[in-house]
Structure 1
Amino acid sequence: MRILNVLFFFLISFYGFGQQKTDTVKKEEVFSRLVSIDISKIKTPCDCSDAMERIADCLVKITDPFSSKQEMENDRQVKNFIDLSNVKTAQVASQCEKKLGFRDSDIFECKSFKQLKEKSAILNRKFRK
């Protein structure tokens, strides 16, 4: 699943970020949303797309107040959040690719795929600054 691998690459590439700039309530809500992704409930290609879109959405929200990669690197909570995002992304990719045998083409028609592409583009731009 090339798309999942690309998102996974971006998440792993930014492994090591941290905690202090985003609103605490927002962080807790976004963290809770990320933790609530249940890998065992992923059964269809669209479940895969939905889970990856949720991870990307959480990352977009948690990194929203930051204008550069350097700022994110200096925030300990963001580092922890991105670390957890990396774990969740790897779990989703493993479930979708290895256990269920889905390919990129299987998720292209999913409702959440367009949002996944958009959020991945946002993350790509943000992390390249």
Structure 2
Amino acid sequence: MNKMIRSIGFLSVMAVLVVLSSCKKDPSVLKVFVRSYNNTLVGNAKVVIIADVTSDPPTPAYVDTVQTNSSGFAYFDLEDFYSKLGKKETTGYFDVIAKDDTKQENGYIRCRAHITNVLTITLPQ
């Protein structure tokens, strides 16, 4: 009987450890799609994100620049940004600038931690 209780206890502890180890948080990502005025995706466009320090609640200063890939989107890994915030802070507000040659357009997005945030910017004609 005592051996059986130990076995059940050991299996219960192992089950809890397996469940806890499989609970990974999703990455904090911002994907910015850049499209031309005729709605085609634009590769090799420059995309800049700038934290809106005047937002409510205020977003800590942060700037990053990425080129869009051949699929027409820029991928920003915001894990480093959110790791510096407190656990209660799970949102950030960003101004987004997309530029291709002489064409430029701005956008704005509220990003949340542990999800993939998506914004599409259409460049002017």
TM-score relative to the length of structure 2: 0.26
Indicate the structure (1 or 2) with the bigger Cα radius of gyration.
2
Which one has a larger percent helix, Structure 1 or Structure 2? 1
What TM-score results when the alignment is normalised by the length of structure 1?
Answer: 0.26
* Larger RCO (CA under 8 A, 6+ residues apart): 1
